[in-house]
Amino acid sequence: MDYRMSVWGMGQKMRKLIIAVICLWLWSATAKGQVPYFMAGDSGAAIREIQTQLQKGGFYKGKTNGRYDDATVAAVKAFQRKNKLSPSGVVSMATYRALFGRDFPGFSPTSQADRVVLTAMRYMGTRYVFGGSTPKGFDCSGFVQYVYSQNGIKLPRTADVQYAQAGRKVNKRDLKPGDLVFFETYEKGASHVGIYMGDGKFIHASSSKGVTVSRLGDDYYKTRYVGARRVLG
């Protein structure tokens, strides 16, 4: 996800042009309900700028190659620990603000989906607790239920009932940020749930990683996907 470009060493006119392009790109993403963030697998000039900023602080020792690789993840986690942020390895709004001293340019949450995703991202790195439904520890359905409750929406407690009763079914090709995505994991039927973020990614409480961001295209989740429900709009 390439939201920003490095502006060091460029003239004033070029900087203004780049900022205008960035804001236009962010407007487009926001219009689609996508909250800006960066994670492993992303690439481009925005990642190079993040690497450069991390390098300035002594957190990143590798090449500023514009690839959000393992070394970049490790540097982001080190920066987050130093700044008392949850060490998720994802550059969310809070991490970006701490790193650059400003918010993502041109972005403000405008839709209910934006607010749901932003709420979910506040709990990145929260530990997994089976049966947990508070910030002290979440399981998958407890996390989803809690995030939506913080936005005034009541959901059933368990993944299977959420899949059966919450909102309406939606085709995978029609997914929008804020939709619930379901997977068959430890038992038959819908036994795991997350919140779709856009761009093929979803946020969820993983039993091995706690609250984290994953891709629908990951081998594990691609083969276990069972469906989605829309509770917004």
Residue 114 CB neighbour total at 10 angstroms: 18
Q: How many domains does the chain have?
A: 2
Q: Is 140 among the catalytic positions? A: yes
- 5, 26, 140, 197: which one is catalytic? 140
Give the pLDDT mean for 157-169.
97
pLDDT at residue 109, as a whole number = 72
Q: What is the mean pLDDT of residues 44-71?
A: 95
For 116-134, what is each residue's pLDDT tens digit? 999 999 999 999 999 999 9
| Of 48, 77, 115, 204, catalytic | 204
User: Are residues 118 and 217 located together in one domain of the fold?
Assistant: yes
23 is catalytic: no
Is the per-residue pLDDT at 93 higher than 60?
yes
Give the CATH number of the domain where residue 160 resides.
3.90.1720.10
Q: Worst-scoring range by mean pLDDT, 21-25, 76-80, 181-185?
A: 21-25
What was the pLDDT predicted at 204? 98
Residues recorded for the chain: 233
- Label the pairing between strands 201-206 and 192-198: antiparallel
pLDDT at 3: 42
Q: Is residue 203 part of a domain?
A: yes
pLDDT above 80: residue 27: no
152 burial level (CB within 10 Å; 0-12, 13-18, 19+) = exposed
Would you say residue 2 lies in a domain? no
Report the pLDDT value the prediction gives residue 6, as an integer from 0 to 100.
44
Asked if the structure places residue 154 within a domain, the reply is yes
Question: Are both 55 and 146 inside the same structural domain?
Answer: no
204 is catalytic: yes
| Tokens linked to 136 | 């002290």
Query: Domain check: are 69 and 125 in the same one?
Result: no
Q: What is the CATH number of the domain that holds 59?
A: 1.10.101.10
Using pLDDT thresholds of 50, 70 and 90, give the confidence band for residue 87. Answer: very high
- Averaged pLDDT, 62-77: 95
- Torsion angle of C-alpha atoms 205, 206, 207, 209, degrees rounded to 10: -110
pLDDT at 31: 42
Per the prediction, the chain carries an average pLDDT of 87
Tens-place pLDDT, residues 164-216:
999 999 999 999 999 999 999 999 999 999 999 998 999 999 999 999 999 99
Identify the domain containing residue 22 by its residue range. Answer: 12-100
Token pair for residue 144?
């989803």
Burial class for 203, CB neighbours closer than 10 Å (0-12, 13-18, 19+):
buried
Residues 16 and 116 in one domain: no
**Is 70 exceeded by the pLDDT of residue 22?**
no
Verify that 122 and 74 share a domain, yes or no: no
pLDDT more than 90, % of the chain: 74
Q: Which of 48, 67, 77, 192 is catalytic?
A: 192
26 and 89 part of one domain = yes
Does 127 lie in the same domain as 93? no
**Token pair recorded at residue 132:** 């947990």
**Last residue within a domain, chosen from 75, 100, 125:** 100
